[in-house]
Structure 1
Amino acid sequence: MTSAATETPRTVAVSEALVRSRAAELIAKGGDARVLVLRAQPRWHGGDLTIDGQRVRVIEGVSQLAILDAYAQQSDDEYLVVLTDRPRADLNDTVLARAYGQRIEEPDEWASVPALFGGAREVSRELRRLDWAATALLDHEPAGGWAPSTDLAVTAEHAIGGLLAHLLDLDSGDLDGVVLLAVLSNGSRSSWAGVDPELQDHLIAWAEGQYGTAAAFALRTTATPGGLVKPLALGLAIDVLWPQPAGDLTEAQVAARTRLLERYVAGRAVTPVQAREIANAAVSAVLRLSRENDPEGRLGVVLDQAEALLRDNLGWPEGAERSGILRPGFTARLRVLGAALDSGTGIEEALAGVLEHREATLGSQDLAPRMAVRLSRWLATPETDAHTLGTDLQRQLADGAWVDAALGVLWSGSSDAEVGAAYGRLIERVRTRRRERDAVAATHLGDTVVMQSVAEALLGGPALGVENILRAVVDPWRAYGGVLLIVLDGMSGAVAIDLAGEVGRSGLVEWVPSATKRRLAAAAALPSMTGISRTSLFCGEVRHGTSATEKSGLAAAFPGARVFHKGELRAPGGAQLADDVATAIADPTVPVVGVVINVIDDATHKNDTSGRPWGIGDLEPLRGLLNAASIAGRTVVLTSDHGHVVERGTAMLPAVAGGDARWRPVSTGPVEEGEVLVTGPRVALDAGQVVVLWRDDARYGAARAGYHGGASLAELTVPVLVYQRSLAQAAPDEWEPAPPQAPAWWNDPVVEAKVNTSTHPGPAKKARKRPAVDKSEPALFELEVAAVASPAPSDDLVGRVLASSVYAAQSRLGGRAASAALIETVLRTLVAHGGRAHQDTVAAAAGMPVTLFGQGLAVVKRVLNVEGYDILSVDSDGVTLRLDVDLLKDQFGLTT
């Protein structure tokens, strides 16, 4: 029987990491001690070590003699680590005299852990409870060491989180279920597969408690031997297998669940709550990778694998069609939208479903569905009668051009046959209504009076022809720093929509006539060809000519004015503008600078450009021109000479001599269906008359990508856009900064107009005196001045709010800036739209530019948001206003 004194103490095998750590501490302390004796199993297979440039020899101290023999062989430039399981009684003082501290050290791995994390002095209790952690941290210490601890006690979250990140070959230790699903479906998969299975089990268990079910799922499914399916793909399958809300389960869905658990989760049970956690994390991971543009380029593989998993491995292909991430789910939602467009019901809800899908966030995948719904809304708006060509043109610019823009996008709307067919049926309904407008406008082409001022056009007089733009627009603005007149040859109203938005975002402010708060629309001269309409614009009278005629015409209208055409716009290397152009714009003695840019007209004849957005960068040197005008303080008048129609299966009519694709001489035959005979001074042909096509689905002669010269509203309407730099304050009388120009249906569902015939006490407004108009001549163009809606009855919701004592008290908080008219407009518009509307819709109703509306809205919120409650708020998209009607009633005491 062995006595306690001589009993061999219990020893453990030590890791190389521990030996390195303890030896490094000995070297760092310096001093004479160069021997470290550790209580451990005397087994070593690691060979000699080099630590901090010092050679460290590790020996197996199986006996006192073996240790003394190692001492004898120790050189002066090496350190010695002795691993021995001998009790103290077996080792005499000679052995311990050379040992550090003259003792045998117990190999407490935890004692070495704080030193691994700079700044730490101890280990937290939660970390020490993980009996495997110390060895793992020592064994896997990275070359650069662990990240320093910010706490005195190293936490498990910091240490094990860092360990897991290191094993996954990640730079960051900020882990969660979303990150782990993503990285283990990409480059970290192989790193994790190389980790010891026992350590994997420990880390999975810890990650489940620290990061949740999704994290453990990602680690566990990746660790499965032979597992080839990416955990993110499995998570996307789980998203449709355990949907939220659950709904009714099909037999195929239940069977697919069972197969997934058996094949990929080793038969482990998954609760609905756990399944949703995994699914939500998977969806979040995919969306995050999408926002980051999939830096490793592996997301496509994940999506394909998830589709194949549902289809081939789980036997439930219908599941992919229920996904908010996978491509079949997007197609399914588009088909629901197509059916809604046909039936006319559930359209807005179907669009919301489409936009919630991941595919809708990629590229321009959401454009066609949005445009389809916008066109459906437009069809739901009541059509108003137009009695003059002027009304036709103004309606085209304010409404029809937006329809044309949406049609251009929708024309090539979907690669799915079912969805494409639904879009096609919608397009035909839209084109039928548009064609009815063109037919009406064709009957008004004979009204041919030349107007003298914008006021005449806006207040019931003759309309604005392209030949009147100099007199009515350029001349009044010329007194405010001069004018840069930019003519974008062929710019239709649809093109102007895209361009106006970008020009406005560049820092220039758009101005419109105060009477209408809408952009001006001018009528092209006929036939609507460049040599006629553009020449008429520059000369101030209807005539036919060349670029030389245009130069002399503008100079005659404004002495000293200059015009630059295509060949004169080429700038030298490194410059935005040609020297002559830049000099003319900067010269205050040049009253008007005219510039012609032909890019749109050139492109129209060669390519279908209807579905593409036009930006400043597409129309060089437009950007340089706008910059130069802003610096020089010039007003920019951005206009066109005619619009165009696009080739969309047009019927070919026989080509005629002396004509073009959309017009022909009167002598070539009688007027047929779809044509109109126009006679008068605005026809710039020797005969003073011409036959033009008003239908957009016919042409004379060979097909091209686009056409102009005819009498459809898209060809006739010339947009006139006026801009000044943002700091400019002065403007001609009856002009003001433009409110949003988009029609209400562009941003919001159609609201049925309610006619209000009641009166409301209040100060009477003095009627504005209209200038006298000579009615002896027929009017080419008339604009209807928007009527001011009568106040609502005092017993309606908004009326009760404005009459309440709470409102009276709140309005004092807004101070002098609190406009009662603006508050009423905001409330009525939002109430009419069910409590939710685009800010442009509300700003347009208030007749305010967005920049000023934002300031006014802050005051409105201050008045309405009683005690800080969000009665009026801005949605997370930053552009949608929300009115909580129930909270409004409650806070303003209107619940009874």
Structure 2
Amino acid sequence: MTIATTGQRTVAVSEALVRSRAAELIAKGGDSRVLVLRAHPRWHGGDLTVDGNPVRVIEGISQLAILDAYAGQDEGEYLVVLTDRPRADLNDTVLARAYRQQIEDPDEWASVPGLFGNAREVSRELRRLDWAATALLDHEPAGGWTPSTDLAVTAEHAIGGLLCHLLGLDRAGLDGVVLLTALSNGSRASWAGVDAELQAHLMTWSEQEYGTAAGFALRTTAAPGGLVKPLSLGLAIDVLWPTAAGTDLTEEQVAARTRLAERYLGGRSLPPLQAREIADATLAALLRLSREGDPESRLGVVLDQAEALLRDNLGWQAGSERSTILRPGFTARLRALGAALDAGTGVEESLAKVLDHRESSVAGQDLAPRMAVRLSRWLATAETPTHGLGGDLRRQMDDGAWVDAALGVLWAGSDDPAVGAAYGRLIDRVRARRRARDESAAVHLGDTAVVRSLADMLDDGPALGVEDVLRAVVNPWKSQGGVLLVVLDGMSAAVAVDLASDVGRSGLVEWVPSATRQRLAVAAALPTLTGISRTSLFCGEITTGTSATEKSGLSTAFPGANTFHKGELRASGGAQLADDVATAIANPAVPVVGIVINAIDDSTHKTDTSNRPWAIADLDPLRALLNAASIAGRTVVLTSDHGHVVERSTEKLDAVTGGDARWRPAQAGPPQDGEVHVSGPRVAVQGGEAVMLWRDDARYGPARSGYHGGASLAEITVPVLVYQRSLADTAPEGWAPAPPQAPTWWNDPVIAAKPEPTTAPKPARKTRRKAAEPDAANALFDLVTPTPVADPAPSGSGLIDRVMRSDVFADQMRLAGRAASSDLVEAVLRTLIERDGRAHQETVAVAAGLPSAGVTQGLAIVKRVLNVEGYDILSIDPDGDTLRLDVALLEEQFGLNG
């Protein structure tokens, strides 16, 4: 580089400038091959090659030196003469061969527009940066700068491009978040190699252009010993300067702020507003990395370094426990949740804080906390007694199955001892209540079962048995285009909860008995063994047998039916279904196609399934079967032969000859604690009686992954799920599209019970239905049916009445069209007002009687009515599931404040 003089002012002339001006000369294509520049006559760069042409740079210390260089100029060679001699010292011979016969002033800015495509000039703000021209010339990339879309090159385009080039970044979207991320990763080395003076210029410019976070990222990386990643520093700043206003500062926190300023900010204090700008940009950068899946595994290093920074360098280990990003912060929030679960207060608030932490969204770490809170809600619900096995089975299907599903997830616990202990205490409380239900069901199971019709069972009559599924469910649906009956051996009600949500997402629509609007559950044959219960299901009567018996039984019940078992389901290469299976499903002459899938039952004997959720993909070839049935227009009935319990620290009891893991012959002795004696026509073992374990924490014989054969609700409850393709709109009498099936506590907190009415209700009148076949005195499954008592007027009724009587409501209903229903609007409003304006969509849908397939459309209609002039009176939270009602805005927009 040389020093050029123009009057009294000196400017730096770089090799880049010489190259640029030589390129201009070459591009002109004229006869002149000499460029004379006014510059200090000193050159250390050697000869150049510009656009494939040799360029020799000459130190023109005198007229004689220049003429001597002319004499030695080769043909095709270009000369650039650097001279500080005034024009008077150079005769016409020198200037005659020079480009334009003059000495050129080395104005670097004149060369800048040509670096950016079609640009003709530089903008005023770019020219104010007196260092920029030299930097742009010195660091021009091999492919040139990105062309400017404006005639005048802007500072943002030029210097932003320069910064990206120096850091090895793409040009698009440069901002503080990008710089924090880049300088915490591969750009650190590139930035370290930039000249310190240019670094200083770029820091100042970036801070002005992109904000405090950008300048912070560049300064901390350029600082001596700047080995700490800017993102790690940003995470420390996030807890040192928290967002919560009025947060009391500890002495350790103040001392840590001072250390950070001294060690990483050159002793400069950090104003709170700037600190929050850096912290917010850091959180945005980490969120972006998370969404991108962190392909280069950058997050782990950043998080570890931030924890070490707070602990070792800043001396404030407690700070990481306040973080919404760092792992100690997640553990601290889980511990707070555990304490709330023990105390029974503040549980919802504690869960919200857990879910607000980044770690909750990583690899399903939110599942256990969510399930813990759901179980806590369940424990807060009132336990109503049942009066027969029918009520026990229904409660297990509607409520207990969800408890078991949540318990399975929570069983895996936490790797933190304190949190794990809190989960364990919650599990003990849940199992105690579940055990009381099992004991009650065992008492009801101990008498002779009376089988009645589906209608009787749904009218609080006795339980249906698994042997009645063909008659009560399959036969009515057979007329709707045939039935695909899929028996998932060993599927409990809890497994059905997992599977049903997956099947629902496949496009099939679930149907349920219209009398209950809930899934149907029937009683397994006893003991709850495959050779008894599954055979009884296929034969339509209590019996025992093999797969051959099952084939014969289904074809007897439905002439022309086909049944396929394990080996017959194997497809040939390239196919998803075996040819015979696919042909039978597609053939309308086959009324019922029976399929047995053994995956669940096999797993309970061989694999730990204590916390395993089940999906369609786990049950090959279920997905292909569902697709084939949908195409053929068949109704799909998913059911089981019995459920199962999983191994969860069970107590080993003495094994008894002739029995199995969960039952023993009655002749071995009277029932002990945790056992029930059963007898009668539904007990299909020798002598017609057996003793079964109802305790889920006990077994006979060696440990396995799971067990069945006993009398717990998880074993005796057989779920029955019915599906049709979405376009189907007909069904047998007594069936309707299913609303969401999750109990309210699954999605929403339990609300306090309404106050009792001032007028005492009349005592419930006990009624008993007549038995159809055996004597009523032996009817085990009969239920006591209370006379319904009207609830007191719910809170919010006055507001709802005023809304629906308003002129605005009438206008909105007219605008919404015929699809709008005042009953639907009223039900949605009432549910949300009872829950302080916030509830899960499924909770609202159940209260409003919306089927699952119609929830989105139904709520859209309600929003059309309520959201006057586009105001978000009824809206959906960012989680996509929670409805929110703005009551104040509702009153204002419907004119109720006057």
What aligned pairs does 1:430-829 form with structure 2 within 5 A after superposition? 430-446=430-446, 448-449=448-449, 451=451, 453-754=453-754, 774=772, 777=776, 778=779, 780=781, 796-829=798-831
1:142 aligned onto 2:144: no
Note closer, same or farther for the CA distance 1:418–1:276 as it changes in structure 2 (3 Å cut): same
Is 1:157 matched with 2:159? no
Contact between 1:44 and 1:60, CA under 8 Å: does it hold in 2?
yes
Q: After TM superposition, give the deviation of residue 895 of structure 1 in Å.
A: 3.0
Q: Once the 2 structures are TM-superposed, how far is the Cα of residue 44 of structure 1 from its aligned partner?
A: 1.9
Contact 1:453 1:471 in 2 (8 A): no
SS in 1 for 2:254: helix
How far the C-alpha of 1:114 sits from its partner, in A, is 1.4
**Change beyond 3 A, Cα 1:210–1:8:** closer
Tell me if 1:64 matches 2:63. Answer: yes
Give 1:5-84 correspondences, 5 Å limit: 11-84=10-83
Alpha-carbon shift at residue 790 of structure 1 (Å) = 7.8
How far the C-alpha of 1:837 sits from its partner, in A, is: 0.9
Q: Which residue number corresponds to residue 766 of structure 1?
A: none
Query: Shift of the alpha carbon at 1:450?
Result: 5.4
Give 3-state SS (helix, strand or coil) of 1:553's partner: helix
**Alpha-carbon distance change, 13 to 866 in structure 1, aligned in 2, over 3 angstroms:** closer
The 2-side partners of 1:871 and 1:488 are apart by 45
Q: Supply the AA of the counterpart residue of 1:295.
A: P
Q: Which residue of 1 aligns with 2:179?
A: 180
Contact 1:12 1:41 in 2 (8 A): no
Structure 1 stretch 24-33 or stretch 864-873: which is displaced more? Answer: 24-33
Counterpart of 1:426?
A: 426
Contact kept, 8 Å, 1:459 with 1:782, in 2: the verdict is no
Distance in 2 (CA, whole Å) between partners of 1:115 and 1:168 is 23
Which piece of structure 1 moves more, 344-353 or 222-231?
222-231
Q: CA deviation at 1:749?
A: 0.7
Structure 2 counterpart of 1:400: 400
User: What's 1:765 paired with?
Assistant: none
Distance 1:852 1:375, change over 3 A: same
User: Do 2:795 and 2:834's aligned partners in 1 also have CA atoms closer than 8 Å?
Assistant: no
Other-structure match for 2:241: 242
Query: CA, structure 1 residues 394+794, in 2 after alignment: closer, same or farther (shift >3 Å)?
Result: closer
CA-to-partner distance for each residue in 1:492-537, whole Å, 9 max, x for gaps? Answer: 1111111111111111111111111111111111100111111111
CA distance, structure 1, for counterparts of residue 510 and residue 448 of structure 2: 29
- The equivalent of 1:285 in structure 2 is 285
Question: Structure 1's 607 and 784: CA in aligned 2 closer, same or farther, altered over 3 A?
Answer: farther
For 1:819 and 1:188, the matched residues in 2 are separated by 60
Q: Deviations 1:413-452 (Å, cap 9, x if unpaired)?
A: 1011111111111111111111111111111114555546
Is this contact kept in 1: 2:484–2:629, CA < 8 A?
Answer: yes
Asked whether the 8 Å contact 2:796–2:833 carries over to 1, the reply is no
Contact in 2 for aligned 1:11/1:40 (Cα 8 Å): no
Given the superposition, is the C-alpha separation of residues 782 and 480 from structure 1 closer, same or farther in structure 2, using an over 3 Å criterion?
farther
Deviations 1:531-569 (A, max 9, x none): 111111111111111111111111111111111111111
**Aligned amino acid, residue 862 of structure 1:** R
Which deviations, in whole Å up to 9, do the C-alpha atoms of 1:271-321 show, x marking residues without a partner?
111111111112222222122221221221111111111111111111111
Could you tell me whether the CA contact under 8 Å between 1:180 and 1:215 is conserved in 2? yes
Residue 227 of structure 1 corresponds to which residue in structure 2?
226
Matched, 1:109 2:108: yes
TM-score, normalised to structure 2's length?
0.95
Aligned to 1:764: none
For the Cα contact (< 8 Å) 2:461–2:769, is it kept in 1? no
Q: SS at 2:365's partner residue? A: coil
Post-superposition offset of 1:795: 5.8
SS at match of 2:879: coil
Q: Deviations over 1:45-68 (max 9, x none)?
A: 222222222222222222222222
Aligned position for 2:875: 873
Residue 74 of structure 1: how far off its partner (Å):
2.1
Instruction: Report the equivalent of 1:329.
Output: 329
- Paired residues for 1:123-138 under 5 Å: 123-138=122-137
Q: Please list every run of 5 or more consecutive structure 1 residues that lacks an aligned counterpart in the other structure.
A: 1-5, 760-769
TM-score of the two chains, using structure 1 as the length reference: 0.95
Give the residue type in structure 2 aligned to 1:156: A
The C-alpha deviation readout for 1:237-294, integer Å capped at 9, x for no partner, is 1111111225111111111111111111110111111111111112222222122221
CA distance in 2, matches of 1:9, 1:233: 49
Between stretches 491-500 and 440-449, larger displacement belongs to 440-449
Q: How far 1:34 sits from its partner (Å)?
A: 2.3
CA contact (8 A) 1:394 1:783 kept: no
**Quick one: distance in 2 between partners of 1:64 and 1:779?**
124
* Structure-2 residue corresponding to 1:864: 866
Please state whether the residue corresponding to 1:703 is helix, strand or coil. Answer: coil
Q: 1:560 to 1:271 in 2, by over 3 A?
A: same
AA aligned to 1:851 is: A
- Which residue identity is paired with 1:810? Q
Is 2:883 aligned against 1:884? no
Q: Structure 2 CA distance, aligned partners of 1:234 and 1:469?
A: 64
How far did 1:773 drift?
A: 7.6
Does 2:391 correspond to 1:377? no
Inter-partner Cα distance in structure 2 for 1:681 and 1:188: 78
- 1:28–1:784 CA distance, 2 compared to 1 (3 A): farther
1:460 Cα shift?
3.7
Kept in 1: contact 2:665–2:691 (CA 8 A): yes
Aligned with 1:800: secondary structure?
A: helix
Q: Matched residues in 2 for 1:184 and 1:320: separation?
A: 22
Partner of 1:253: 253
Q: Using the TM superposition, name which of 885-894 and 136-145 deviates more.
A: 885-894
Alignment check: 8 A CA contact 2:6 2:105 kept: no
Pairwise CA distance, 1:458:
1.4
1:193 aligns to what?
Answer: 192
RMSD: 2.2
Q: CA deviation at 1:779?
A: 6.1
Moved more, 235-244 or 788-797: 788-797
**2:95 is the alignment partner of 1:96:** yes
SS at match of 1:687: helix
Cα distance between partner residues in 1 of 2:784 and 2:586:
36
3-state DSSP of counterpart to 1:610: coil
Q: State whether residues 11 and 41 of structure 1, in contact with CA within 8 Å, keep that contact through their aligned partners in structure 2.
A: no
Alpha-carbon separation, structure 2, partners of 1:409 and 1:76? 85
1:35 CA drift (Å): 2.1
Tell me which residue corresponds to 1:840. 842
Which segment is superposed worse, 58-67 or 473-482?
Answer: 58-67
Q: Secondary structure at the match of 1:617?
A: helix
Equivalent position amino acid for 2:781 in 1: L
Q: Distance in 2 between matches of 1:869 and 1:371?
A: 35
Q: Distance in 1 between matches of 2:85 and 2:215?
A: 44
Deviations 1:781-810 (A, max 9, x none): 769899997875996222222222322222
What is the distance in 2 between the residues matched to 1:809 and 1:772? 53
User: Greater CA deviation, 60-69 or 834-843?
Assistant: 60-69
Letter in 2 for 1:750: V
Partner amino acid, structure 2, of 1:831: I
What is the rounded CA distance, in whole Å, between the counterparts of 1:436 and 1:796 in structure 2?
41
Where in structure 2 are there 5+ consecutive unaligned residues? Answer: 760-767
Compare 800-809 and 366-375 and name the one that shifted more.
Answer: 800-809
Q: For residue 75 of structure 1, report the CA deviation from its aligned partner.
A: 2.3
* d(CA) in 1 for partners of 2:9, 2:700: 104
**Structure 1 residue 686 displacement after superposition:** 2.5
